[in-house]
Amino acid sequence: MWIADNWKDYQVLDTSSGEKLERWGDYLLVRPDPQVIWNTEKKNPGWRKKNGHYHRSSKGGGEWEFFNLPNEWSIHYGNLTFNLKPFSFKHTGLFPEQATNWDWFGKLIREAGRPIKVLNLFAYTGGATLAAAAAGASVTHVDASKGMVTWAKENAVSSGLADAPIRWLVDDCVKFVEREIRRGNHYDVIIMDPPSYGRGPKGEIWKIEESIFPFIELTTQILSDNPLFFLVNSYTTGLQPAVLTYMIHTALVPKFGGFVQADEIGLPVKDNGLVLPCGASGRWTK
């Protein structure tokens, strides 16, 4: 498992009864987590001193309950700054487990010895975009949600990357890649974090089980002749590491050589020493 264990401003403090207790900077949140299927005694005092608690509804969705939590606050990872705010379906605007990927590819970009062009698809609030830009890459950031792209720009400003070579685009990722193929544009890196289900700006429907492999194949057409890496993240139960490995290998290795690794990604849990699994990632490199 690849573990995001270099955080100072974030911790999973404890897990029990379908929930996790997290420290986000100065604030404690309790959020549901489908991986936490064990029941243990909640000894950590943070369970009682929480600033926010997301209660899942039996009808689907849920709602936040707040206790002295600001509308927005920030945390840091190295030189990066992320602006957080609790919003729909338990999210805060950041997936901290992705830091294990930021560390991995930041080193690749810094050591490449050449200009690197990155395409970040389904790019959300820009964690990977900022990590790649901070490492010296030029980045094209694409997400179908205008609100998420605006949030990502704010994170870039807070991180001192307002003038970094980042192109911000609100667009359907599939349509954008198809246009880039026609334009003849190429990238040294492709990062994608596809949702299980989604809609584009014009109502385009994305179902990951049907769409992900054709899309990976499509994106190989805009890789440069000497690509640096290819990264696919998955939070969908069916897309386990072995499936990611096979898809990426099938799409990339015959064309570019190299090799694929895939594994679960996770976060260390302070109180019990466990690692909480948080999805999976598949990585191709030369």
- Extended beta strands in 122-249, E state: 138-143, 166-170, 189-192, 197-199, 205-207, 229-234
The highest-level CATH class for domain 97-285 is alpha beta
Sign of the four-CA dihedral 108, 109, 115, 116: positive
**Which pLDDT band holds residue 201 (cuts at 50, 70, 90)?**
low
Measured CA to CA, the distance from residue 20 to residue 33 in angstroms comes to 6
Longest dimension (CA), the chain: 58
Record the tokens describing residue 96, joined without a space: 């901290």
Record the tokens describing residue 225, joined without a space: 């002749």
Say yes or no to pLDDT of 113 above 80. yes
Q: Does domain 2-71+80-84 have CATH number 1.10.3720.10?
A: no
Structure-derived torsion over alpha carbons of residues 111, 152, 7, 55, reported in degrees to the nearest 10: -150
This prediction has a pTM of 0.95
pLDDT digits (tens, 9 = 90+) for 153-168: 999 999 999 999 999 9
Q: Which residues 6+ apart lie within 8 Å of 101 measured at CB?
A: 2, 128, 231, 233, 265, 281, 283
Q: Average per-residue pLDDT in the chain?
A: 95
Backbone angles phi, psi at 40, to 5 degrees: -130, 160
pLDDT digits (tens, 9 = 90+) for 212-243: 999 999 999 999 999 999 999 999 877 899 99
Measured CA to CA, the distance from residue 198 to residue 116 in angstroms comes to 29
Reduce the DSSP state of residue 191 to 3 states and report it: strand
Ordered by start, the domain boundaries in the chain are: 2-71+80-84, 97-285
pLDDT value, residue 58: 80
